[in-house]
Amino acid sequence: MKKDWEKLMDAFADSPTALVGDVDCTAEGEPLCEEFGVQGFPTIKYGDPTALEDYEGGRGYDELKAFADENLKPMCSPSNIDLCDDVKKAAIEKFMSMSDADLAAAVAEKEAAIEKLDKDFESGVEELQATYEKLQQDKEDGVKAIKESGLGLMKGVMALQKSKGSDEL
């Protein structure tokens, strides 16, 4: 992916409105990565610099380039309200009219809701893993018990009888 990413950076190097870059999260870029919630590598973010979104698309050059061509441009945001439709303008104006404390509380509430969804997901996955492991063990124990109850001997007798029958013809 590194070669494709470097090719994409070159393709947008002279763009007056789009930036494609990289950050080393293990060095000087660590605080920036923490600020934007980068947890794994490579992570691709896009959008308004004050509210970056996670990129979930393909990682090859063609997919990255197509996405960048479509999405790396000035977008509706508080700093580009003139690019917003009436619904988003109204939402931005509502948020801008809130006090700093109320806005911070609303953001914290939404972030807490996302964190709860993440925890619920992880808990559900752990339950599924435990169920999977129990089912796997039950299957292994069942197969072992069936085989130990004489399945191999039965198959041996069947094979012997079949071979005797074919000899008699």
Report the pLDDT value the prediction gives residue 135, as an integer from 0 to 100. 97
The CATH T-level fold of domain 2-75 is Glutaredoxin (3.40.30)
- The pLDDT tens digits of the residues spanning 110-121 come to 999 999 999 999
Query: Tokens 């002279």 correspond to what residue?
Result: 14
Report the pLDDT value the prediction gives residue 12, as an integer from 0 to 100. 82
pTM over 0.85: no
Share of the chain above pLDDT 90, in %: 51
d(CA 152, CA 14) in angstroms, rounded, equals 72
Give the side-chain half-sphere CA count within 13 A for 156. 5
Report the pLDDT value the prediction gives residue 169, as an integer from 0 to 100. 44
Can you list the residues of the chain whose pLDDT is less than 50? 169
Cα–Cα separations (whole angstroms), residue 68 to 14, 22, 73, 115:
14, 14, 8, 29
d(CA 6, CA 95) in angstroms, rounded, equals 38
The domain ranges of the chain are 2-75
